[in-house]
Chains A and B, each alone.
Chain A
Amino acid sequence: MQALKRFVNGLRAKSPWLLHFDCGSCNGCDIEILACLTPVYDVERFGIVHVGTPFHADLLISSGTVNHRNKKVLANLYAQMPNPKIVVAIGACGLSGGVFRDAYNVVGGIDKVIPVDVYVPGCPPKPEAIIDGVVLGLQKLQGLGEAKGA
């Protein structure tokens, strides 16, 4: 039974489906995230698939500042993802609000609304850094499955 659990948790890291949410980013980070899917980086090698619905996702990749308009959308997307799930915050704005942190409409980083597991700094971060962040997240995803005993 233990061997089966370990096997399944290993597979979780081999088939991460990610949902990408642009939380009011300038598109700089989003272009770098999408660049990971191109033939140059080709993250499908690791079984990573970019899905369009939170129902299918294991990873939430979010970029940009959270503002009062979209904080509900972000929380909603996170709530709709089935467990186990992890969140990766991308870029200066996603981490802390970036240069917009003092604006009247800005709440701050992603972690003001939902729990964040991995932070990838940069403005924008390189695709290599984003892939690194996702790999870190995958280790945590494996751990989550083991902790839950699922």
Chain B
Amino acid sequence: MTRTALLIACGLIVGPLLGGLVSGLDRILTARMQSRIGPPVLQPFYDVVKLLAKEPVVVNVWQAFCAYCYIAAASISVVLFFLQSDLLLIFFVQAVGAIFLVVGALSSTSPYSQIGAHRELLQILSYEPLLVLVVIGIYLETGSFKLADIQAWPQPLLLKLPFLFVVLGYALTIKLRKSPFDLSTCHHAHQELVKGLLTDYSGPFLALTEVGHWFEVVLLLGLCTLFWSTSWIGMLVLLVSTYFLEVLVDNVTSRMNWRWMLSYVWGVGLTLSLVNLIWLHQG
């Protein structure tokens, strides 16, 4: 019982701390790639505390409600991950949160918010089947959806599911809002869509969506660690190299349109998953 309570507290505290830190390192790394110095590593925390202390302004109450639902779902999914729960359950809880964020954006009449929301829906449509296929691949190899069983698997999953790891990389790029898939909202698209999905969230509610985003990042990086859960060093190397690649891809590619995203991600992602699943079935 105490162990469960401890794990829940761990998920609720470690989740945002780790997510914020990753986001800070990401900003420094991006700045260095653009030959800039970049902000301090704790900058994301400064931003969130400042936003929480700002005057709350909402365009309508449903938006505030949706922001709370989003962070609730995102934090529950991370807590479930720490409790080593069922992988499918975790991903459906996370999907509920993602949808609430879109509903919140749709509840405002701002055209930028609306466009951002529609694009976010298309992004969800792109990555959600891929995530489910990754989870199915893990099940076919280990015979269980339970995280405890998957983490106890004697071999690194990466050796059997290399293509599915690449597919997870696509989903991660979309979820992290990195180029070329940063259609719905990103730091660099003022001229095109202001702040897209997040245009009408402000002050404390924007802070909630930011912390929710950190939770989601931690969840997806946690899913990456499953691919090398046999040793801590392997896990760390896999995580660092994956995230470095994400930042590199973000800086060398440009934002594409949703038609390209949908056809490319589904085309390449579904093919790679299929090849990997057939290979598993044969082997």
Chain A residues in the interface with B (C-beta under 8 A): 8, 11-12, 14-15, 17, 39, 42, 44-47, 49-53, 55-56, 58, 82-84, 145, 150
Which residues from B are CB-within-8-Å of A55?
Answer: 57, 199-203, 206
Given contacts A11-B49, A11-B50, A39-B34, contact A45 B39 (CB under 8 A): yes
- Bound CA–CA A39/B50 (angstroms): 25
B203 touches A82 (CB 8 A): yes
Tell me, in angstroms, the Cα distance from A85 to B270 when the chains sit together. 49
Q: Can you sample 8 A-B contacts with CB below 8 Å? A: A14-B43, A42-B31, A44-B27, A44-B39, A53-B202, A55-B57, A55-B200, A56-B206
Q: Which of B37, B38, B53, B195 contacts A150 (CB 8 A)?
A: B53
Q: Which residues of B contact A145 (CB under 8 A)?
A: 53
Given A44-B31, A55-B200, A83-B55, also A14-B46 (CB < 8 A):
yes
B36 touches which one: A44, A49, A82 (CB < 8 A)?
A: A44
8 closest A-B pairs by beta carbon, nearest first, are A52-B190, A55-B202, A52-B194, A82-B55, A83-B55, A15-B46, A42-B36, A15-B50
8 Å CB contact of A51 from B37, B53, B190, B201: B190
> Digit string of B170-200 for contact with A (CB within 8 Å is 1, else 0)?
0000000000000000010011001100011
Q: Which chain A residues border B40 with CB–CB below 8 Å?
A: 47
Q: Does B35 contact A (CB under 8 A)?
A: yes
A53 to B193, CA, bound (A): 10
Provide the main secondary structure of the chain B interface: loop
Inter-chain contacts of B56 with A (CB < 8 A): 82
B residues apposed to A, CB below 8 Å: 27, 31, 34-40, 43, 46-47, 49-50, 53-57, 112, 187, 190-191, 194-195, 199-203, 206
Contact between chains at B195 and A83 (CB < 8 Å): no
Residues in A whose Cβ lies below 8 Å from that of B35: 39
Task: Give the docked Cα–Cα distance between A51 and B36 (Å).
Answer: 19
Q: Do A15 and B43 touch across chains, with their CB atoms under 8 A apart?
A: yes
- C-alpha gap A11/B55 in the complex (Å): 15
Rounded to whole Å, the gap between the CB of A47 and the closest CB of chain B is 5
Residues of A within 8 A of B46 (CB): 11, 14-15, 47
Nearest CB to that of B110 among chain A residues?
Answer: A53
- Complex Cα distance, B75 from A54, in Å, reads 29
Q: Name the B residues within 8 Å of A47 (CB-CB).
A: 39-40, 43, 46-47
Closest B residue, CB atoms, query A44: B39
Tell me the minimal C-beta distance from B194 to chain A in angstroms.
Answer: 4
Residue of A nearest to B48 (CB): A15
Contacts of A14 in B (CB 8 A): 43, 46, 50
CA distance A8 to B45 in the complex (A): 11
| Extra A-B contacts (10), CB below 8 Å, given A42-B37, A83-B54 | A8-B50, A11-B50, A12-B53, A14-B43, A42-B38, A45-B36, A47-B40, A52-B194, A58-B54, A145-B53
CA distance A84 to B49 in the complex (A): 14
Q: Which residue, of A49, A50, A53, has the highest number of chain B Cβ atoms within 10 A?
A: A53
Question: What A residues does B55 contact at CB under 8 A?
Answer: 82-84
- Given A52-B190, A55-B199, A82-B202, A39 contacting B49 (CB threshold 8 A): no
Residues in chain B near residue A12, CB distance under 8 A:
50, 53
Task: Name the A residues within 8 Å of B206 (CB-CB).
Answer: 55-56
| Complex alpha-carbon distance, A55 and B200, angstroms | 7
